[in-house]
Copies of this chain bind each other. A is one copy, B any other.
Amino acid sequence: MSVEPRLLEVRKNVLKQNDVIARELRERFRTQRTFVVSLVSSPGAGKTAFLEKTLTLLQPHYRVAALVGDLATENDAVRLARSQAPVRQITTGTLCHLEAAMVDNALKEWGIGKLDFLFIENVGNLVCPSSYDLGENLRLVLLSVTEGEDKPLKYPTIFNSADVAVITKMDLAEAVEFDEETVKANIQAVRPGMRHFAVSAKSGVGLQEYLQFLTARIAEPMQQEPA
């Protein structure tokens, strides 16, 4: 296809612009001492349920807020608002990922005050979000037990762009004969040394360990660049 090289070149420019804005965002978050966590996963992996639980549990002790991206609807913002934390929806139209500029604009319009934690839930997609830095300190990739153990091998780029893996819907593990050892091996195959948590927003299993990990991160002096 003759247009391919031109497409690649234009895409490179978009990514370069994104990186500039992401760097500014990261610097701003560092100055404001806000720890920013983004969540990526396939649609329906349980990002919103997991994030609602996270917000609900952190909200009494920390200043928390969430931005949530979707092509259409404000459903997730409505669900997340049940946590009592401030939440804002970004609708992307036909775009399969969030970009740093969308986060920047949403925060400017929002005028939200000082935060300890800002969560950014990306559009449900295991491909598109991988190349777009959002200025976050930590990127979580979620994978539900119902999706099959081979997803890290099939979507290596997104697992490589993330810092920590979260295996969700552990309450369904038995019903779908989920094999945690195989998933762990597959995660390590594409990203050696990657930490993972196995959780269920429904039963609560694994959430304390994950929250301890998260809250320990804001006790540390924050780095300018992500780990």
Residues of chain A at the chain B interface (Cβ within 8 Å): 1, 3-4, 6-7, 10-11, 13-14, 17, 42-45, 70-73, 75, 94, 96, 101, 123-128, 144, 146-148, 150-151, 153-157, 169, 172, 175-176
Contacts and interface: CB of A to CB of B under 8 A. Distances in A.
A176 B144 CA distance: 13
Contacts of A148: 44
Contacts of A101: 1
Nearest to A1: B17
Nearest to A148: B44
B7 A3 contact: no
Nearest to A153: B73
16 contacts: A1-B17, A3-B17, A6-B10, A7-B10, A42-B124, A43-B155, A70-B154, A71-B157, A72-B154, A72-B155, A75-B150, A75-B153, A124-B155, A125-B126, A128-B128, A172-B175
Residue among A44, A72, A96, A147 with the most chain B CB within 10 A?
A44
A116 B126 CA distance: 33
A79 to B, nearest CB: 9
Contacts of A169: 146
Contacts of A17: 1, 3
Contacts of A124: 42, 126, 154-155
Nearest to A4: B14
Contacts of A157: 71, 94
A44 to B, nearest CB: 3
A207 to B, nearest CB: 19
A43 B154 contact: yes
Nearest to A17: B1
A73 B172 contact: no
Can you list the 8 inter-chain pairs with the closest CB atoms, starting with the nearest? Answer: A44-B147, A96-B127, A42-B43, A146-B146, A3-B13, A7-B10, A43-B126, A73-B153
A101 B72 CA distance: 30
A156 B14 contact: no
